Chain A
């Protein structure tokens, strides 16, 4: 019944050089749970999603979305062949 929630957790975590274990410790969850969320195998609660967003200092919609995310390079540099 639950809808697939897309996320950018892995990208942001890699960019900030945060390990799954470190993020898990900061959010108070098991390190495997971070992996489950990143792979889309578990949709976090609103509470956990907000905690993750606060941890990275980002709005929650920068990390989680009901629509698939565009690649970050497309957002920054635009899709080739499409006007900005």
Chain B
């Protein structure tokens, strides 16, 4: 961290939570991190579908589906945040120069991916309208915007988690005072 003297109690508490050694084991390898990101994407998609179903008066069981995915979604989010050591959650003053640079790269990459998704969506919708005469009614606007909002919100976390590199074997020992 760069300026610990200005860190508040909240900053230090969040830093400790994001750097808990016990939680790191769940995301120690690249395969595990990919698994957690895949699970989180699936849970997010399910959560969005359930929430939109509840808003648009879907079947009565839909809100229960939303409640069922909330807890595993929070667990997966916690593991992703732990894997990135709070790269996107901590305030800038709690990050060091490498983490700060990495956060910029993650945001830049996520921005580019969002741009590609938006471009593909716009091109697909335009092509469907032009070539197949498909008409999009206003009812589709809110679900599409909401899905886009969630993607824009979550993408940096997924990108950050996938970019994390494995600790060197002795690095794990180092954290507990070994070596």
Contact = CB atoms under 8 A, between A and B. Distances in A.
A20 B171 contact: yes
A37 B175 CA distance: 17
Contact of B175 (A21, A33, A41, A42): A21
Interface stretch (A23-31, A55-63, A75-83): A23-31
B97 interface: yes
The 4 closest A-B pairs by CB, nearest first: A29-B96, A20-B174, A33-B98, A35-B171
Interface residues of A, number: 20
Majority secondary structure of chain B interface residues (helix, strand, loop or mixed): loop
Interface string A41-71: 1101101100000000000000000000000
Interface residues of B, number: 20
Contacts of B174: 19-21, 31
A47 to B, nearest CB: 8
Interface string B1-30: 110100000000000000100000000000
25 contacts: A19-B174, A20-B171, A21-B174, A21-B175, A28-B2, A28-B96, A29-B1, A29-B96, A29-B98, A30-B1, A30-B19, A30-B85, A30-B98, A31-B171, A31-B175, A32-B171, A33-B96, A33-B97, A33-B98, A33-B99, A35-B167, A35-B171, A36-B165, A45-B97, A47-B97
Given A28-B1, A28-B4, A48 B175 contact: no
B176 to A, nearest CB: 9
A19 B177 contact: yes
Interface string A1-45: 000000000000000000111000000111111011111011011
Contacts of B19: 30
